[in-house]
Amino acid sequence: MVKPHYDDDDDDKVLLPGQFKFKEWDCPGCDANNPVDPPVGHGDEVLCNYCGCDYQVIVSDELKVKFRAL
Ligand SMILES: [Zn+2]
């Protein structure tokens, strides 16, 4: 599960895809859960700690997170 990272004092603000950040992600290749710190968002690259695959993060307008293999 990808969980959104919200600032506590900004609850009613609507997030744009470019502002959406998350602190953990599930690798599409091996299903491993990877924590990331600092949080990552659209356009960032993430590296799976388990299988070593590189992905670019893509956040859609509906704030759905996808990963594109690099
Ligand atoms: Zn992996």
Query: Tokens standing for 1?
Result: 């599960």
Instruction: Report the separation in Å between the CA atom of 29 and the middle of ligand 1, taken as the mean of its atom positions.
Output: 5
Cα 17 to Cα 28: distance, rounded to the nearest angstrom? 20
Q: Which residue has the higher pLDDT, 1 or 29?
A: 29
25 neighbors 2 (Cβ within 8 angstroms): yes
Instruction: Report the separation in Å between the CA atom of 33 and the middle of ligand 1, taken as the mean of its atom positions.
Output: 8
pLDDT exceeds 60 at position 66: yes
Q: Residue 17's beta-bridge partner residues?
A: none
* Amino acid letter, residue 57: V
Give per-residue pLDDT as tens, 7-65.
555 556 678 899 999 999 999 999 999 999 999 999 999 999 999 999 999 999 999 99
21-26 and 33-41 strand pairing: antiparallel
Which CATH fold topology does 17-69 show?
Rubrerythrin, domain 2 (2.20.28)
At 19, phi and psi to the nearest 5?
A: -100, -10
Instruction: Report the separation in Å between the CA atom of 2 and the middle of ligand 1, taken as the mean of its atom positions.
Output: 14
Q: Would you kindly state where each structural domain of the chain is located, as residue ranges?
A: 17-69
pLDDT band at 1 (very low <50, low <70, confident <90, very high): low
